[in-house]
Amino acid sequence: MAAESRHQEVGHKSLLQSDALYQYILETSVYPREPESMRELREITAKHPWNLMTTSADEGQFLALLLKLIAAKNTIEIGVFTGYSLLATALALPHDGKILALDINRENYEIGLPVIEKAGVAHKIDFREGPALPVLDLLLEDEKSHGSFDFAFVDADKDNYLNYHKRLIELVKVGGVIGYDNTLWNGSVAAAPDAPMRKYVRHYRSFVLELNKFLAADPRIEICQLPVGDGITLCRRIS
């Protein structure tokens, strides 16, 4: 097949042509169904100086539905912040579900913890403060943990995503799913290299580009990159 014919022309910038359309989704399908505890945590997090890092309500809803669709029971989350995606996960898992939650910062987790406790799902969470990579390495030392996770959500230091992938591909079961968050990186992945960008966006951009290329070529997974939130790439382990 000629190279040109494999690349179909894109006739519009995005399906979401306006902020109003995004607002429509939130107001019609997301906010009316957002659990009270998640709304409370979202409102608390909005006051945090780093609130930009939180998972959006529509992405939280997406994660929760996905976890139920795959009937996830044992999951791992890398990058907790105040816990919005963690709470979405904890609510979606069955009563005996488990989440290994990793973050270098416990303080922010503790901002959300009272809400998580009030929601009655704190018993599902095993929070560990510290860098995620050594925890994954420790898990890999135990043969029993290989293929033991149904789902992993990666939402932390972008320069380590490929290191996480190398380990998570062993820890998640065949048929399990890894979700990498922020894979559209503020839209910068498609911007010209000399386009104006915030410093941190520019800094991590090359890592996100490298990750996206790697995932697209990795034969051990099937992938789907969704324009939800800042872009989430779902990877289903097939071997």
Based on the number of CB atoms within 10 Å of its own CB, is 189 exposed (0-12), middle (13-18) or buried (19 or more)? middle
Q: How far is the CB of 64 from ligand SAH (least distance, A)?
A: 12
Minimal CB distance to Ca ion: which residue? Answer: 181
Specify the DSSP element, H or E, that contains 170.
helix 161-171
Assess 78 for contact with ligand SAH (CB under 6 A).
Answer: yes
Among Ca ion, ligand SAH, none, residue 208 binds (CB under 5-8 Å by kind): none
User: What proportions of the chain, in percent to the nearest 5, are helix, strand and coil?
Assistant: 50, 20, 30
Assess 138 for contact with ligand SAH (CB under 6 A).
Answer: no
Assess 127 for contact with ligand SAH (CB under 6 A).
Answer: no
Candidate residues 66, 102, 168, 172; the one interacting with ligand SAH per rule CB under 6 A:
102
Binding mask 141-170 for Ca ion (x = CB under 5 A): --------------x---------------
Q: Which is nearer to Ca ion, 26 or 140 (by Cβ)?
A: 26
Q: Which strands, in side-by-side order, build the sheet including 221-226?
A: 125-129, 98-103, 74-78, 149-154, 172-181, 232-237, 221-226
Number of residues that bind ligand SAH (CB under 6 A): 21
- Centroid of chain to Cα 101: 12
